[in-house]
Amino acid sequence: MRTSIKGLLCLSIALSAGMSLAQTRLRAWNIHPDGYPVTEAMKSFAAEVAKTTQGKYQIGIFSNATLGDQPKAVQMLKAGEIDIAEFSSGPLSDAVPGIKVLNLPFLFTDSAHMFRHLDGKLGQRFAASLKAAGFVVLGWYDGGARSFYCASRTVTNVRELAGANIRVQQSEIYTEMVKLLNARPVALPYKDVLDGLQQGKIDCAENNMPSYESTGHYKVAKNVFVTNHVISPEALVVSTQLWSKLGQEEQAAFSAAGARSALLMRELWNKRVALALEVTAGQGVQFVKVKDTSSMIRRMSPLYDRYMKDPTTRQELLSIIPQ
């Protein structure tokens, strides 16, 4: 009898231990390769969540858009097929139109300027709107400063972009921006940009320097016109479906890990930008920095006017632009 009771007690203890160690596996998506600042910051986030929840939540990182492209990933997050993702401001602005202002050219002078707003009241307003749309923001990542690079021409001033076929994202702001530079916007999938440059389908493209270097675009387009025309954020988000299932302590653990991963990402990003510049310069890339952005900014007036007239974006613009 004693042996039987002892056995039952041991079984009960074992079952309790097994229940306490039960794991919930989550899937996290991003579009970048392994080793990229975004991916490494997400790995850090996953490790911290696992540690602070005593292993309850195990987060698998699916990089390189292996689960689908960004538009598909947005739908997967909403459907609960993935739990966590790192998105650029483009798809987020589809859910919350006011976020479109973050892609306006020359809105921010640099990343530090942008994060002063996003780590404050502006970021809190966007986070509240995104939560209502199904995305809980855990941290704002750096999307980098974008410049033009060309294969078929050397650009030393904005007038020399006139008539160029320039690859743009499928975004009304980028399309209109290129038109206002008297150039022709070409909406081309990101994966097809290198072929487009090689085959002469496009003359130029625009992106941040780590993307320019990591894709090999610099091997074909060796002329960079450094404008830093758009400085925009990305965001680490979880689905509201997952968030609603977390207890208060778990939500606090996810939030703290997300905030720390954002700071790590920004640090890694700055190092990655410096490395990209060093690598491309060493391969003969020529950099021409715009001397005065005022002429480009004046050309953007119709774009600014449109968003100032839109009540969904006016408040955000007024909170960023110095009065």
Give residue limits of the domains in the chain: 14-91+99-318
Residue 322, number of CB atoms within 10 A of its CB: 3
CA–CA dist 36, 38 (Å, integer): 6
| Higher per-residue pLDDT: 78 or 8 | 78
pLDDT band at 191 (very low <50, low <70, confident <90, very high): confident
Distance CA 126, CA 137 (A): 9
DSSP conformational letter for 100: G
Q: Are 165 and 193 in contact (CB under 8 A)?
A: no
Cα(223)–Cα(221) distance, integer angstroms: 6
Adjacent-strand bridge partners of 26: 59
CA proximity to 313, closest of 120, 151, 101, 116:
101
pLDDT-above-90 percentage for the chain: 74
Model pLDDT, residue 10: 52
Please choose, from the candidates 164, 186, 157, 162, the residue with its C-alpha nearest in 3D space to the C-alpha of residue 174.
Answer: 186
Q: What are the helix (H) ranges across 149-233?
A: 172-180, 193-199, 209-214
Confidence of residue 322 (pLDDT cuts 50, 70, 90): low
Count of CB atoms situated within 10 Å of the CB of 14: 10
Given a cut of 60, whether residue 51 has pLDDT beyond it is yes
Q: Which residue do the tokens 């990343």 mark?
A: 111
Strands 24-29 and 135-150: unpaired
What is residue 6's predicted lDDT score, i.e. its pLDDT? 54
What distance lies between CA 58 and its chain's CA centroid?
A: 23
Predicted local confidence at residue 91, as pLDDT? 80
Chain-centroid distance of CA 75 in Å reads: 17
Residue 42: per-residue pLDDT: 98
> How far from each other are the two terminal CA atoms of the chain, in whole angstroms?
83
CA distance 66 to 159: 40
Buried b (16+ CB within 10 A) or exposed e, 94-119: ebbebbbbbbbbbbbeebeebbebbe
Are β-strands 204-207 and 84-88 bridged in parallel, bridged antiparallel, or unpaired? unpaired
Beta bridge partners of 206: 148
Whether the per-residue pLDDT at 193 is higher than 80: the answer is: yes
Beta strand 204-207 with 24-29: parallel, antiparallel or unpaired?
A: unpaired
More confident residue, 232 or 166: 166
Q: What are phi and psi of 67, to 5 degrees?
A: -95, 0
* CA gap 176, 168 in Å, rounded: 10
Report the pLDDT value the prediction gives residue 68, as an integer from 0 to 100: 86
pLDDT tens, 248-302?
A: 999 999 999 999 999 999 999 999 999 999 999 999 999 999 988 999 999 999 9
Question: What's 83's DSSP letter?
Answer: S
The per-residue pLDDT of the chain, averaged, comes to 91
State pLDDT tens for residues 203-256: 999 999 999 998 999 999 999 999 999 999 999 999 999 999 999 999 999 999
Number of Cβ within 10 Å of residue 12's Cβ equals 10
Q: Domain 14-91+99-318 classified CATH 3.40.50.1100?
A: no
pLDDT band with cut points at 50, 70 and 90 for residue 4:
low
Q: What is the dihedral of CA 249, 255, 258, 262, to 10 degrees?
A: -150
Q: What is the pLDDT of residues 109-150, one digit of tens each?
A: 999 999 999 999 999 999 999 999 999 999 999 999 999 999
Helical (H) or strand (E) element with 225? strand 223-239
Q: Is residue 7 over pLDDT 60?
A: no
315 or 287, greater pLDDT: 287
CA dist 133 and 162 (Å) reads 39
From the list 52, 33, 254, 40, the residue with the least C-alpha distance to 138 is 254
